[in-house]
Amino acid sequence: MYHTEIRSKTQVITIGRDLAAVLIGERINPTGKKKFGQALLARDYDAIRREALAQVEQGADVLDVNVGVAGVDEVKVLPEVVKIVAETVDVPLCIDSASPEALAAALKVYEGKALVNSVTGEEKSLERVLPVVKEYGAAVVGLCMDETGIPNDPEKRLAIAKKIVERAEKAGIARSNIVIDCLTMTVSSDPMAATVTLRTVERVAEELKTNIILGISNVSFGLPDRHSLTKTMLAMALRAGLTCVIMDPMAEGMRRTVKAADLLLGRDEWAMNYLAEYRQYSEQS
């Protein structure tokens, strides 16, 4: 069992199997949000400040920062946005881009120890992202996919995770700084999709003992009442070994589900977090 520490200038967040699950707010991301994308293109960052503040207010422990949208030069914009978010809120950041150059540019300006999202099992990704992670002393998310795509088999996903861990360790990145993303696929196109993800979480937890992350809401893509499905998946994944989750902290009941699962899994002594969540929620309504 490993602890992954990430830090801002003033806060330390620790991810671990024996600790409360860490909530990573996903809302600073232009995918599918037209206005947000337009604001990024115009370099109007007010919306980003608002999203940052609102998510932290709603219980996000870490914020994911992604600026990937058509027409945006990520190498320029990602560091700018990382700076702005870091100035706006105290929580540590998860810096999210598929471009190694953009990741390097953002890590350079970030004061703290970020979680880099992400490296894959693809050779060109391993070769280019791992040295950047090592150089800046960051932690990294490893996605269970490679040149052949995303395998539909837990053992094959585990094999990719193993490869990423081996290559990262070889590059001088400690296993405590690796978080494996077992990948959530939607059940709307494959009824076995969620079970493959859950089994992969179990296998990675058993074999590699790294921390495990999922972007959980994808499970319900294409279906109505997404909250019910996503919350249920979240509870099952936490039982299987999930230790941090990328999600919308504003989505109704999601945060409550995490707190409930933590209590049920014996990592919320005297139900302090659950009760704090309950009181905060009650005051709001």
Q: Which parts of this chain interact with other proteins (CB under 8 A)?
A: 30-32, 34, 37, 68-71, 74, 97-99, 145, 149-150, 186, 188-189, 221-224
**Minimum Å distance from CB 230 to other proteins?**
15
Residue 156 or 239 having the CB closest to other proteins: 156
For tokens 């920062």, the residue is: 65
Query: Can you name the residues that pair with 140 across neighbouring β-strands?
Result: 116, 178
Q: Write the DSSP assignment of 226-280 as a string of letters.
A: HHHHHHHHHHHHHHHT--EEEE-TTSTTHHHHHHHHHHHTT-SGGGHHHHHHHHH
**Minimum Å distance from CB 17 to other proteins?**
30
Q: Which of 63, 77, 68 is nearest to 31 (CA)?
A: 68
Residue 59 or 215 having the CB closest to other proteins: 215
**Minimum Å distance from CB 65 to other proteins?**
13
Residue 97 or 257 having the CB closest to other proteins: 97
Residue 224 or 266 having the CB closest to other proteins: 224
271: Cβ–Cβ under 8 A, 6 or more apart, which residues? 263
Count Cβ atoms below 10 Å from residue 266 Cβ, excluding itself. Answer: 8
Radius of gyration of the chain (CA): 18
**Minimum Å distance from CB 56 to other proteins?**
25
**Minimum Å distance from CB 79 to other proteins?**
16
Count Cβ atoms below 10 Å from residue 151 Cβ, excluding itself. Answer: 19
Residue 86 or 229 having the CB closest to other proteins: 229
